[in-house]
A = this chain, B = another copy of it.
Amino acid sequence: MATAWDRQRAALREEITETARTLFVEKGFDATTVDEIAQAVGISRRSFFRYFGTKEDVVLGDLTGRADALARALAARPADEDPWTALRTAMLDSRSETFTDVRSDLAITRMMRDTPSLRARKFEKRQYWSEVLTPLVAERITEGDATVRAAAVVAAVLACVDIASDVWAESGGTADIVAVYDEAVAALRD
């Protein structure tokens, strides 16, 4: 019966996230130390690292889980659908669970864009997205080198998502993120 513990663990994890993000927005990401976060939450510094591998992970959240959700949504698409349509639809389908935190805080998205160490970690996790999505996309490539082409399509789509996210953050949340994404993709496909 690990459920009780798991619940406790999830709750504490949530509390760390909430407290840390508040501090980050107040003082800036780099200026906030793990000690301060731990103290604010009321746990030891060591325990913080038992819940989050790095300070960056608190901001980035469950990116790998969202990659898996997107992968499931992509796999659920008809096999004869072209990669671009399939990826776009899959992202929209899994958006409710995928973009929760994007909606939750504009400041966080801006911070991810402006803080080098966060950007770096984000790209590191993006690597995982590519690894998960590329084989699924490869099944939808009918001509040429499927692996190379799939990798290119996935990388391009993720880049377009990034661009859309950046424009959205820069607009203060007013820009239509899907429209910007479509515009970015249009640039690639004439």
Chain A positions near chain B (C-beta within 8 angstroms): 116, 119-121, 123-124, 127, 141, 144-145, 148-153, 155-156, 159-160, 162-163, 167, 180, 183-190
Contacts and interface: CB of A to CB of B under 8 A. Distances in A.
A153 B120 contact: no
A156 B188 contact: yes
Nearest to A190: B189
B116 A153 contact: no
B148 A167 contact: yes
Given A189-B190, A190-B189, A184 B152 contact: yes
Contacts of A120: 120-121, 123-124
Contacts of A123: 119-120, 123
- Sorted from nearest, which 3 A-B pairs have the closest CB atoms? A149-B187, A155-B159, A120-B120
State the oligomeric state as a number of copies. 2
A188 B141 CA distance: 11
Among A123, A127, A155, A162, the one with the most B-chain Cβ atoms within 10 Å of its Cβ is: A155
Nearest to A159: B155
Nearest to A151: B163
Q: Which of A153, A184, A186 has the most CB of B within 10 A?
A: A184
A162 to B, nearest CB: 7
Contact of A187 (B153, B186, B190): B153
